[in-house]
Structure 1
Amino acid sequence: MSAVESLQTAAFWIGLFEIVWINIILSGDNAVVIALAARTLPAAQQKKAIFWGSGAAVVLRVALTMVAAKLLTLAYLQIVGGCLLLWIGLQLLREEDEDDAATPTHGNLLGAIRTILVADLVMSLDNVIGVAAAAQGNLVLLVLGLALSIPLVIFGSSFMIRLMARLPMIVVLGAGLIGWVGGETIISDTALHDVALAVPLLHYLAPALGAAFVVGVGKLWQHKAQPATGA
């Protein structure tokens, strides 16, 4: 069946709806990462970071969907990815501390896009399994469904940036969310499958520890930086 013919089938439109809906549900944490990474940029560059970061992330997801099922079976990959998320959460929280200093500094556009891509790559590993299942091997459906999710992520990220400007505590909560996903990613690794199966509590404890680690260490950095900024 050709791509044009597939557009005329009910299965195509049902699959498209499923992909868009999956992305609406699963893109909340991605919107938080994008907002955290872009908020330190000058206002003129924020929209660029959100647009290019979201667009590049979607392209990455399309490629990732093709190999995600295989990647998730590789031992220690999710442990490394989870540790990367913990580091990203710490870095984004440190940027908040730098913004609170006497001389605020602006972030870098390429650096923000790089952060968005790395975080989205790790956070999307298991998400794309659902997207791939809905697409059922139809590349047109996959690309179209993910492309339609770009405006949703852009809107969510823009909203989060405005919210963070009004409520600085949202930044801490956002960093904590990244830490939560980081801990969740680590405990989901195949190398820890038997351990997690033997101790079901770890499915809740690991994400909580990840969030506590990011927020706790981030606040410790802030505390240590206060004498220097106050001097």
Structure 2
Amino acid sequence: ALGPGRAPGGAALGQRLAWAGTFHSIANRLLRHYAGALRLDPQFTVLDRGDAADVLDALRTELGLAQKEQRFPRKDTCLQIYSHRVNTRGTLRATLEGQFPWCAHWEEALTGLYRAYVERKQRESLLDYDDLLLYWHVMMSDGQLAQRIGAQFDHVLVDEYQDTNTLQADILYALKPDGAGVAVVGDDAQSIYSFRAASVENILAFPERFTPRAEVITLARNYRSTQP
């Protein structure tokens, strides 16, 4: 949840507003408002996972990578590899060797596939879910723009923080670099999405990311279920 804060454009509203949503939905909202700064068409189309996989599948065929005898990774695997690399901000080689070793010998072909994928998206004003975070991160890398966006929000609350990835954490720190008004909630024992590039290190390292150190409040009582 991002809020309460000010509407895009910087004008204070008489009514305080709260933005609530996933990182991706908030990114979608911000990118449409600041599209000009990124040279994006504000009417860009967002590809869901199925659509993105289909685009990759079409490109696999166009590039001659879809023949059965080659045993090239299927479209969903190609998307998983691409998404993992983007969200960890790592290299394709590191992603392949660490998470998809059975695909490592396809590094060169995958590089060509992903290059064609990016070109297709740019040409047709398409953004996939990973692009939403990438472009938000690009905005937050611009000092003036980052300050403007961060000023829209007095408070930022992130739930299930143990399931965020490196890119999402970097966006949060750029949004509120001094930590003022930031709260995250999570349980390091419930981090289950490492295969989706989630990093439990985000919640473990969070207190030390700010000066002074963030306050940690431990909820010891279980309100969800009765212990035996």
TM-score (ref. length: structure 2): 0.27
Bigger proportion of residues as strand: 2
* Greater fraction helix: 1
TM-score, length-normalised on structure 1? 0.27
Larger radius of gyration between Structure 1 and Structure 2: 2
Q: Which has the higher contact order (CA 8 A, sep 6+)?
A: 1
